[in-house]
Amino acid sequence: MTPTTRVVVTGLGVVSPLGNDIDTFWRRLVAGESGVGPITRFDTDGYKVHIAAEVKDFDAEDFIDRRQVRRLDLFSRYAVAAAKLAATDAEFDPRPEADRVGAVVGSGVGGLQTLHTEIDKLLTKGPDRVNPLLVPMMIPNMGAAHVSLELGAKGPLSATCTACAAGSDAIGYAARIIRHGDAEVMFAGGSEAPVSPVAVAGFAAARALSLRNDEPEHASRPFDSGRDGFVIGEGAGCLVLESLEHAQARGARIYAELAGAGMSSDAFHMTLPDESGKPQARAMTMALKEAGLEPSAIDYINAHGTATSAGDNAETKAIKVALGKHARNVAISSNKSMIGHCLGASGAIEAVATVLTIVNSLLPPTINLTDPDPACDLDYVPLESRFQKVEVAASNSFGFGGHNVTLIFRRFDG
C-alpha cells in the first residue's frame, strides 16, 4: 500500500434521532422531518432548555449481550450498534482477517450519562457505592474499544476527541491508516450520548442552545435570521472503509470513494470560530488537494450548520474563501436542522448522509430556513429536498477549540 491507495465506502450504519437503520434515517431526512422533541431522558423542571433530538426505540440488547450492556455507557452502546449495522450492510466479518481490520471512533464528551449517575451516587450514598467500572465506562476511547471487542477487530485502534469534529476526524484518520498500509479495512465514525442534565445545563449556561421549547420541531434553524442556538442531539454513525483492492477482491458493493480529508486549526478562541472563515476554508482546500480536485468540482456541501450566528456566518465565509466564485453554484444543506447537533457523532452521521446523497442524487433540505440571514447568502436547499446528480460532495465539521475537518466523497464508477 502507498499513500495513493484509493479508499472506498462499503458499509454504513447509523443510530439517530430520525431512525436506527439506514433506510428509515434517509427516508425521514429527505422528507424534511424533525427529530427534535421534548426531553424524556430526565426531568427538565428548572432547566432553561426542555428539548433535544433524542434517539428513540433503541434497544442495546439487539446488538450486545444482555449481561454486557450495563457495563457500557450509552455512547458506547450507540457506537457498537452503528458499527455492527455497518458490518452487516457491508456483508463483512472482521474475524477471519482480524489483524488487518481496525477502528477509529470519535466522541466529544464520552460517557456523560455514567459520569452524572456516579457523581450523584457519590454525593448521596458515599464513595463506596461508586461503580468500579466508572472510569472505563466514562472515558471517550471506550466507544472505539467496544467496537473492537464486539467485532473482534485486532488492527489499528484509536479514538478522536476533537469536540464536534471528532466523527469526521476519525473518518479522515482511518482513511490515512488504510492509505499507509496499516490496515485493509477500518470501521470509522463517531458516537455521542450527551442528552444529560450536566450537558444540557452547561450548554444552556453558555447560551448556546435554542430556547424554542414550545415548538421543538422548528427550533433548529441553520442560516435563518430567527435562529437562537443549536439543539443538542445524540446518536452514532459508522462507515466501513476499505482499500479499493480489498473491496474489489471480495466483490463488495461500493457506495462511494473517500477522496480526501483536510484539517486545520483556528487558533482563535476557546468556543467561537474565526469569523473570517479562513482557517475553516484551509481545511476544505487541504481536502481538495488530497483528492486532487479543483474547487469547481464540488457539487454539494453537507454543512456543519449548527444554527448559531457565529458558526453559520463563519462557515458561509469559509465556503466563499475556499471555492471562490463557484460557491454561488454549490448546493449546501444542514442535517442539523433535523437531527440537532450530535456533537462528536455529528460528522459521522452527516458523512453517512453525504454518501447517501451521492448514491441517490437527492439533496436533503435545510428545514426551518424561512427567513435567511442576509450574511448567509448561498444556496442552502431550503425547506424541501432537491433531485440533483452529485459527483463530488464535501462534509464540514468544526469543533470547540478551533478543530476544523472537511471530508470529500466522490461518486465511484469503477
Task: Choose the catalytic residue: 146, 161, 164, 403.
Answer: 164
Tell me the three cell numbers of residue 337: 436542522
Tell me the three cell numbers of residue 139: 472515558
Q: Determine whether 161 is an active site residue.
A: no
d(CA 85, CA 190): 14
Task: Choose the catalytic residue: 341, 342, 376, 403.
Answer: 341
Q: Determine whether 304 is an active site residue.
A: yes
Task: Choose the catalytic residue: 304, 342, 376, 403.
Answer: 304
Q: Determine whether 403 is an active site residue.
A: no
Active site residues: 164, 304, 341
